[in-house]
Amino acid sequence: MEGKKLNGNESVVRLENLKKSFEINGEDVQIINGINLDIKKNEFIVLFGAGQCGKTTLLKMIAGLEDITDGNIYINDKKSSGFNEDVGMVYQTTALFPWLSVMGNVEFGPKHRGAAKSERRKKAQYYIDLVGLSGFEKHFPVQLSGGMQQRVGIARAYANDPEIILMDEPFGHLDAQTRYLMEEDVEKIWAREKRTVIFVTNNIEEALYLADRIIILTECPATVMKEYVIDLPRPRSMVSEEFLRLREEISRLADARESEAG
Amino acid sequence: MKFKLSGKSIQAVVLGTLGILSFFIIWQLTCIFTKFGTIFPTPPEVAAGMIRGFIEPIGSVTLLGHIGISLGRVLVGYTLSSVLGTLVGLLMGASRLGKAILYPIFNIIKPIPGIAWIPIAIMWLGIGNATIYFIIFVGGFSQMVMNVMSGASNVDQELVGVARVLGLKKNHVFLTIILPSCVPYIFTGLQVSLSTSWMAVLAAEMITATSGCGWLILAGMQSGIMLNNVLGMIAIGFIGLVLATLMRMLERRLCSWKERN
């Protein structure tokens, strides 16, 4: 299915008939089957899918962590292959460097891209403050709660100044209360800092709360099933009539998709 | 300064002291009431001998001299095995080619204990310090290699990807990600190989030296002066304890990121 074509000049990420297959026991297993997608500058895109199939792989391909089997990824109209300094990522497992302090983690990107110490400290401090971790600069990841660790991950991605930030189910391991707080904060940070965000989740409320546009993916192999443009005013109420209606509709769609796959 | 003693820790101290005291009492009683006492010194005699040992030389140097000599030998051999063992371990853990070449031969040499090398070492290096360094080196080296290798081959590959996405250059991955990931494993290796080295120096000194704690033990036995034997044993136990404690303190400092406070 074709992704909806948006204003081409503004496109920051463009996926063109993107395919991915892995060789498993000598057999090619297709994970992603021809995804087309145009993502505008500063858009908050949510990839929504319940299955285990394709979403993380898709983000990893955009980040340069996985090879492309077929098709193309364009970032700022340039064909992308491998790592790209315009792309940052927040991981499901937080994936912090355990031997580095909060400050060490957040300044990692700027440091290895050659920023001077005072400059990168200032920038890292700004994002540490922004995610609400002031005072924890010298703590090691192991000393922080799961939610705080994920805040470090978000600060680390932003501090590297990428135009595009990929978030791979970043709150999947958090309890409901923490998760809700994190969603609020991610939205606040995004509203303030802007950036193009591609966010993967299998939680409908999370998708509806955050997204400008929800891309619903099919079960394996993943393709675009349907997309919703969400233009509810922000910050959104999770109990507004329109929110609940969309939730109901997407939920029914997801159920249908699962029974089809099952 | 605050110093709090809970009921439990007072109990532990009391019971521990009780255990040590009864050990000395049994020792003393055994010396008085059995034939054992005719050749073996009592605790007070050992204490007196120790004080004398610090002042008058036993053999060529004083007790402190013997301790210093043994420690010096360990330091040389241990440093060699730590540095080379870390390098070889990293090479085998981080490079597939390195492992393919080195692992089989390493596996053949690994089970041979350090002491088994003594005759060859004497043939190659003669009687003296070079042989002792070599024996200590052999003892610690394989421990070091094993630990560092498992550290380097268990590096979280996701973290390598994370670092690359953040802009780390490929040829900086080793120093920035692999090496720090290995630090806890290096410390485990350092700890295990320290006790191996300390044992190796004693074995080597018993055979090919005229000084040091190992020589003290053997010379004490051969000359029938059991006091010197016991002094050597006490020195060994004490130094071993001090070394292990120092190493644990250093580890706690450098690997604090592993522990939850």
> Number of residue pairs across A and B with CB atoms under 8 Å?
59
Q: Which residues contact B20 (CB under 8 A, 6 or more apart)?
A: none
Q: How many Cα atoms within 13 Å fall on the side-chain side of residue B257? A: 19
Find chain B residues with C-beta within 8 A of A98's C-beta: 257-258
What band does A254 get if pLDDT is binned at 50, 70 and 90?
confident
Nearest residue on chain A to B255, alpha-carbon basis: A99
Of A63, A99, A100, the CB nearest to B165: A63
Which among A66, A92, A99, A198 is the top mutation candidate for probing chain B, defined by the most B β-carbons within 10 Å of its own β-carbon? A99
Nearest residue on chain B to A109, alpha-carbon basis: B166
What band does A3 get if pLDDT is binned at 50, 70 and 90?
very low
Instruction: Write down the pLDDT at residue B4.
Output: 61
Instruction: Write down the pLDDT at residue B5.
Output: 63
Instruction: Write down the pLDDT at residue A10.
Output: 75
Q: Which H helix or E strand runs over A31?
A: strand A27-40
Of B158, B163, B169, the CB nearest to A93: B158
pLDDT averaged over 10-residue windows placed end to end, chain B, 261 residues? 68 93 94 88 92 90 93 95 96 93 93 89 91 93 94 93 95 95 93 91 89 91 88 90 89 78 44
Model confidence over A149-205: pLDDT tens digits? 999 999 999 999 999 999 999 998 899 999 999 999 999 999 999 899 999 999 999
Domain boundaries, chain B: 45-253
Instruction: Write down the pLDDT at residue A7.
Output: 45
What band does A9 get if pLDDT is binned at 50, 70 and 90?
low
What band does A4 get if pLDDT is binned at 50, 70 and 90?
very low
Model confidence over A25-72: pLDDT tens digits? 889 999 999 999 999 999 999 999 866 778 999 999 999 999 999 999
What band does A232 get if pLDDT is binned at 50, 70 and 90?
very high
- Return residues 172-201 of B near A (CB < 8 Å): 172, 176-177, 180-181, 183
Inter-chain contact A143–B165, Cβ cutoff 8 Å?
no
- Return residues 210-249 of A near B (CB < 8 Å): none
Are the beta carbons of B178 and B155 closer than 8 angstroms? yes
| Full strand arrangement of the beta sheet holding A224-229 | A87-90, A164-168, A196-201, A44-48, A213-217, A224-229
Which CATH topology does B45-253 take?
A: MetI-like fold (1.10.3720)
Are the beta carbons of B214 and B206 closer than 8 angstroms? yes
Instruction: Write down the pLDDT at residue A219.
Output: 85
B191 to chain A, minimum CA–CA distance in Å? Answer: 20
Nearest residue on chain A to B261, alpha-carbon basis: A143
DSSP letters of A92-107?
A: TT----TTS-HHHHHT
Instruction: Write down the pLDDT at residue A262.
Output: 53
* Cα angle, residue B30 at apex, residues B28 and B31 outer, rounded to 5°: 65
Instruction: Write down the pLDDT at residue A5.
Output: 46
Specify the higher pLDDT residue, B153 or A261.
Answer: B153
